[in-house]
Amino acid sequence: MATRAGITSPFTSRSTAADVIAGIDLTGRRAVVTGAASGIGVETARALAGAGAEVTLAVRDTAAGDRTAKDIRATTGSEGVRVAALDLTDPASVRAFTAAWHGPLHILVNNAGVMAAPESRTPQGWELQFATNHLGHFALTTGLHEALTAAGGARVVSVSSSGHLFSPVVFDDLHFTERPYDPWLAYGQSKTANVLFAVEAGRRWAADGITANALMPGGIQTNLGRYMDDARMGLFMTHLRALLGEGTPLPEMSFKSVEQGAATSVLLATSPLLDGVSGRYFEDCNEAPLHQPGTNTGVAPHALEPEAAERLWQVSEQLLD
C-alpha cells in the first residue's frame, strides 16, 4: 500500500526471506542472483528456488557456486538451480554470460559486491569497487534487457547500502586519479551508483514493463567485511561521525542474520506490494524516507537525482563502449 511515507509492508528488520516469500508461487519464473555463492546471495537464491523459480547462481567461483547449488537443492527440493560463471570486473565475462542467456528473465538480483577494498584498478583503469558494484552490474543488466523485456513485468533488484550516504557519484574523478584514495568514499560512490541505476532503469524501461529498485540489506556479518581491519574500522567511524554531526551519539551496532539480510531483496523481487513500483530505495522491508541530518538511515537526495541518474547511465555506456 502507498502512503505519504512511501511503500510499506507488514515486514520489519526482523523478518526473514522465508517470511517475505511465504505464499508466493514463482513456478515458471526465471531468476539470476549475482554473488550467490556466499552471504545474503545464498539466502536470496534459496528463497526464490524454494518458491518454485528456476534460479541461476551467477558467480566468479563456480566451485563454490556448485557447492551452494547442491545445498539449495537439498534444502528446497528444487532441481531448477544452476551455476554460471560471471566476473563482474571483466567485460568479456559479462558479455559471455549475457550472450549465453536465452529466453525470458523475470528477476535479476544484482547482489554481488565488494566493500572497503584496498586501492586497486581493473585493466581498463577503473577503480575496483566502482567496477564491481556498479559497472559490472550495469553491463549485465543492459545486456539482459531483451530477456527482461520478454518476461513481461520483470524486476531488477539493486543491492545498495547505507554507505551511499558517504559520497555522491563524483563524476569528475570516478576512479580516484585526482584525489587520495579512500576505501569508504569509493564504496559510498559505488553504492550511490546502485541507487541511481535503479532510478534511471525504472525511467528508461517503464514501457517495457521492467521495474528496478534499490535496497539496504542491513548490517550482516559476511565475507563482505573481509577487509575490515582496525584501520578500516577506524576510518569508517571517522566517516560515520562526520555524517552524524558533532555531538550526535553513535548508533548501537546491531547485526541481522543472513536470512534477515536477504529479506528486503526478496521483497523487492517477489512481493505483489511492489507491482509497478520503480526507482525507489528500501531498508528493513519498507521504502526508506529521505535521509535526515544526525542519522545514518534513509536515502540521500544525491542518490535520487534524475539528472545524476541519467548522466551516470551515459558515462557508464561510454566507459563500456
pLDDT digits (tens, 9 = 90+) for 191-243: 999 999 999 999 999 999 999 999 999 888 766 656 667 777 787 788 778 88
pLDDT digits (tens, 9 = 90+) for 31-59: 999 999 999 999 999 999 999 999 999 99
HSE-CB of 59 using CA atoms within 13 angstroms: 23
Over residues 288-310, the mean pLDDT reads: 96
Cβ-based neighbours of 138, under 8 Å, separated by 6 or more? 197, 313, 316, 320
Edge to edge, what strands does the sheet with 155-159 contain?
81-85, 54-59, 30-34, 107-110, 155-159, 211-216, 281-283, 286-287
- Is the predicted pLDDT of residue 3 greater than 50, yes or no? no
pLDDT digits (tens, 9 = 90+) for 171-190: 999 999 999 999 999 999 99
| Domain membership flag for residue 232 | yes
| Domain membership flag for residue 187 | yes
Q: Residue 156: how many CB atoms within 10 A of its CB?
A: 27
> Rounded distance, CA 116 to CA 128, Å?
10
Instruction: Give 103-137 as a DSSP string.
Output: S---EEEE-----SPPS-B-TT--BHHIIIIIIHH
pLDDT digits (tens, 9 = 90+) for 253-292: 788 999 999 999 999 999 999 999 999 999 999 999 999 9
| Domain membership flag for residue 156 | yes
When pLDDT is cut at 50, 70 and 90, the band that residue 2 belongs to is very low
| Residue 291 lies in domain | 17-320
| Domain membership flag for residue 154 | yes
> pTM for the complete prediction?
0.94
| Domain membership flag for residue 1 | no
β-pair partners for 169: none
| Domain membership flag for residue 289 | yes
303 vs 3, higher pLDDT: 303
Q: How many domains does the chain contain in total?
A: 1
Q: What is the reported pLDDT for 226?
A: 66
Q: What is the reported pLDDT for 222?
A: 64
Query: Considering only CA atoms, which of 260, 186, 255, 192 is closest in space to residue 220?
Result: 255
> Rounded distance, CA 211 to CA 166, Å?
26
| Domain membership flag for residue 125 | yes
| Domain membership flag for residue 11 | no
The CATH number covering residue 77 comes to: 3.40.50.720
Residues forming the active site? 187
When pLDDT is cut at 50, 70 and 90, the band that residue 70 belongs to is very high
pLDDT digits (tens, 9 = 90+) for 135-162: 999 999 999 999 999 999 999 999 999 9
Over residues 24-28, the mean pLDDT reads: 98
Q: What is the reported pLDDT for 4?
A: 38
pLDDT digits (tens, 9 = 90+) for 98-131: 999 999 999 999 999 999 899 999 999 999 999 9
> Rounded distance, CA 35 to CA 85, Å?
10
